[in-house]
Structure 1
Amino acid sequence: MRGTYELDSTVKRQQHPPKKEKTRSITYRLPVKLVEEIETEAMNHNISHNVMARQILEKYIQWDRFADKIGMIPVPKKILDTLGIEMSAQEINEIINVIKPVIKDTVLFIKGKYDLKRCIETLEDYMRASGMKSDHRIEGELHHFIIQHELGSNWSVFTEQLLQEIFKEFLPDSKMKCQTTESTVIATIALGGDFNEHEY
């Protein structure tokens, strides 16, 4: 289904509470300019310096340290936007066929095992690292995965088909429904009220 989309106000967001972990205080000696940049960024985001430093380190641990090893390179959004304009249905299928084994290898390398939860979590890590907006909401047994890519309608088609392939691999008897616009994809599938991609 393409066009406008709307989720019921009773739909709740999937909570991602931070795991309770032991902490310890450490001291680093850093260049003044680097500290000032961190302080400025923290102020712009209305968070403490400590939270900003933690976010930077977590992003590195969760994604950046793997990027070179798995062959990830940053691509300007404008290039993807331009490529998407002329992308045909056949080319979308070909890209998906190429990217599926890459996703599997990436999940195995980063998470140590390949299953639906780890696959979804890895895709969320990637979107967060690349600045793409995403959300996960729950409505009873239904789970809504919302992705805002802002790259045009062909990339919405690509995203929809890729998610179809991923869910079909792990849940061949389940049906995913999709709502799309030129910038947003909402994939809806029944995974059960207790499904949490961060618990495995």
Structure 2
Amino acid sequence: MNKIERQPTEGITFRIPSSLLSKLRQESQKKHVSLNTLVNQIFKEHTEWHMYAAQAKLHQVPKNTLSRLIDKLTESELSDVAIDMAKKDFVEVGLLLRGEFTISSFIDIVENWSKISAFPYKYEIKENVHTFIIQHDMGKKYSLLIKEIYSYLLQETFQKKFEFIITDNTIVFKFSDPY
């Protein structure tokens, strides 16, 4: 989440092909982070998302393809699909990715999904109000899909009062939780 926790570290040596190491060094320079930081980010993404993605039956689809499919649905159909996804898929994914499905794991999944999807996002907590702003650039119907999924989960699964603002390319949602 937002708090940086210092964890104990250990030194370890890996043998990495020179060509791969060169690419990692280039990426670290491009991102203005140390090679150590980049490698730790890669390990974290792998252990928190990619390691379990196949088990959770997650599949990558190009953004443009997904947008075109979603745009073919009416708003009513989209709402029905979203609720069905929330009921049947999201809890299972949460359990596989985090071992639990709580408000805390939901927040963690939304934040990691945003990172993995390369969506610019902002997440903050002020006075127990959690605010997410996610810029997806995938159109109004995608905003509606995500709004419907998250609304169902926040209301039905976590019994949270929430507020949503959606635009053609951005989702903003807020809810209170003192966890």
Provide the TM-score with structure 2 as the length reference: 0.90
Q: The residue matched to 1:163 in structure 2 has which SS?
A: helix
RMSD across aligned positions (CA): 1.7
Contact 1:38-1:49 at 8 Å conserved across structures = yes
1:42 to 15, 25, 28: 28
Tell me what 1:128 maps to.
115
The one-letter amino acid paired with 1:16 is N
Structure 2 partner of 1:103: 90
**What is the CA distance between 1:48 and its match in structure 2?**
0.9
Match of 1:24 among 6, 10, 15: 10
- The secondary structure found in structure 1 opposite 2:48 is helix
Q: Whose helix fraction is larger, Structure 1's or Structure 2's?
A: 2
Shift of 1:45: 0.6
Unaligned runs of 5+ in 1: 1-14, 196-200
* Equivalent position to 1:162, from 143, 149, 170: 149
Gaps of 5+ in 2: none
Q: Percentage identity across aligned positions?
A: 21
Deviation at 1:86, TM superposition (A): 2.3
What is the number of residues matched between the two proteins?
178
Cα contact 1:84–1:152 (8 A) shared by 2: no
Report the Cα distance in structure 2 between the residues aligned to 1:123 and 1:23, rounded to whole angstroms: 27
C-alpha displacement of 1:89? 1.7
Contact 1:84 1:151 in 2 (8 A): no
Whichever residue aligns with residue 140 of structure 1, its letter is E
* CA distances 1:139-191 after superposition (whole Å, capped 9, x unpaired): 4343222111110011111111111111102443x432221210111112222
The structure-2 alpha-carbon separation of the partners of 1:21 and 1:142, relative to structure 1 and needing over 3 Å to count, comes to closer
